[in-house]
């Protein structure tokens, strides 16, 4: 099986390429410079040349705040780009796994979102990702749409890496304690997506949710990072969303039900706390 990964320089794309190669799968990663998904002819050429059995579309405009002022670009990548990928997959008979987001929901639920819960995106990012889902569904009905949430790697400028860095820079850190989600290690998500790609029986389930299991607030996640690195978690102080206004409103509740994932015959992703431990071990100076 040959798998083509778009957005291969991103958090999730990078991990799929890395983990796929480690498990002996033939995975071809294309970054935004190698394949711009907004250019229909480039997408068609890439699929015609690579001839993948499966495409995992990780390419996306993910700058949630910036998108509020940059609707056109977000729509081009998340909507039109997704349509281009779906069209080329349909034409070349490649199976499409399209990665989407919890931001398609309103973020005001109090129990885990099922796949068919009403959509009510509150941000440009969420609206354009929902448009992308619609385009994929319209063009490639058998494609699998996989929504995830709160992705971290523990590197770069993601939340986990930022808490790790701030530990040596600040005595106290105020972190939002009224937003709930399921922190998801990109490596675990990548493994899950590769399993999905390799499990033909799963394909009857066309919309799924994949996130590490369990829930946390950002405050609880920050405390867990401190515990993992041997720092005093009481240096993390809870605060409210109102104290940290952002251009794009953040969902208060982003927990995704894994019912469809399990119905597809896939193992749920491990608890986020175990995943965090693994991420910090994977990226410790000794690792």
Ligand X SMILES: NC(=O)c1ccc[n+]([C@@H]2O[C@H](COP(=O)([O-])OP(=O)(O)OC[C@H]3O[C@@H](n4cnc5c(N)ncnc54)[C@H](OP(=O)(O)O)[C@@H]3O)[C@@H](O)[C@H]2O)c1
Q: Which of 168, 153, 262 is nearest to 209 (CA)?
A: 262
Q: What is the rounded CA–CA span in Å between residue 249 and residue 120?
A: 13
In whole angstroms, how close is the CB of 80 to ligand X at the nearest point?
A: 9
Joined tokens for residue 23: 């498990």
Which chain residues interact with ligand X by CB under 6 A? 6-7, 9-13, 32, 35-38, 58-62, 77, 81, 99, 101-102, 129, 148-151
Report the run of H or E that residue 269 belongs to, with start and end: strand 269-271
Q: Which residue is nearest to ligand X (CB)?
A: 10
Q: What is the rounded CA–CA span in Å between residue 94 and residue 88?
A: 8
In whole angstroms, how close is the CB of 211 to ligand X at the nearest point?
A: 9
Q: Which is nearer to ligand X, 37 or 221 (CB)?
A: 37
Answer whether 197's CB lies under 8 Å from 242's CB: no
Q: How many residues does the chain have?
A: 287
In whole angstroms, how close is the CB of 77 to ligand X at the nearest point?
A: 4
Catalytic residue among 103, 113, 125, 219: 125
Q: What is the rounded CA–CA span in Å between residue 95 and residue 81?
A: 16
In whole angstroms, how close is the CB of 91 to ligand X at the nearest point?
A: 19
Q: Identify the residue whose tokens are 């829930």.
A: 215
In whole angstroms, how close is the CB of 73 to ligand X at the nearest point?
A: 8
Q: Which of 79, 62, 57, 80 is nearest to 196 (CA)?
A: 57
Q: Which is nearer to ligand X, 112 or 235 (CB)?
A: 112
Backbone angles phi, psi at 156, to 5 degrees: 65, -135
Report the run of H or E that residue 208 belongs to, with start and end: strand 207-209
- 103: annotated active-site residue: no
Q: Which is nearer to ligand X, 35 or 175 (CB)?
A: 35
Q: Which is nearer to ligand X, 158 or 235 (CB)?
A: 158
Q: What is the rounded CA–CA span in Å between residue 217 and residue 245?
A: 17
Q: Which is nearer to ligand X, 60 or 280 (CB)?
A: 60
Which amino acids are annotated catalytic? Answer: 125
């Amino acid at each position: 099986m040959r798998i083509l990964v778009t957005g291969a320089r991103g958090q999730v794309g990078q991990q799929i390429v890395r983990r796929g190669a480690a498990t002996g799968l033939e995975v071809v990663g294309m970054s935004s410079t190698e394949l711009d998904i907004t250019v229909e002819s480039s997408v068609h050429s890439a699929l015609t040349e690579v001839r993948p059995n499966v495409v995992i579309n990780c390419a996306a405009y993910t700058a949630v705040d910036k998108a509020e002022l940059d609707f056109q670009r977000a729509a081009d990548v998340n909507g039109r780009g997704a349509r281009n990928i779906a069209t080329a997959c349909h034409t070349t008979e490649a199976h499409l796994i399209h990665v989407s987001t919890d931001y398609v929901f309103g973020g005001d639920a109090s129990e885990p979102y099922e796949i068919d819960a009403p959509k009510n995106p509150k941000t440009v990012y969420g609206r354009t990702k929902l448009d992308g889902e619609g385009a994929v569904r319209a063009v490639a009905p058998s494609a699998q749409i996989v929504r995830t949430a709160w992705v971290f790697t523990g590197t770069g400028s993601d939340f986990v890496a930022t808490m790790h860095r701030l530990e040596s820079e600040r005595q106290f850190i105020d972190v939002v304690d009224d937003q709930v989600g399921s922190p998801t290690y990109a490596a675990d998500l990548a493994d899950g997506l590769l399993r999905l790609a390799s499990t033909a029986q799963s394909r009857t389930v066309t919309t799924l949710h994949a996130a590490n299991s369990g829930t946390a607030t950002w405050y609880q996640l920050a405390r867990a990072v401190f515990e993992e690195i041997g720092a005093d978690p009481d240096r993390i102080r809870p605060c409210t969303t109102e104290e940290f206004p952002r251009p794009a409103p953040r969902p208060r509740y982003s927990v995704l039900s894994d019912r469809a994932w399990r119905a597809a015959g896939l193992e749920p992703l491990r608890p986020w706390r175990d995943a965090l431990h693994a991420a910090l071990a994977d990226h410790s100076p000794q690792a």
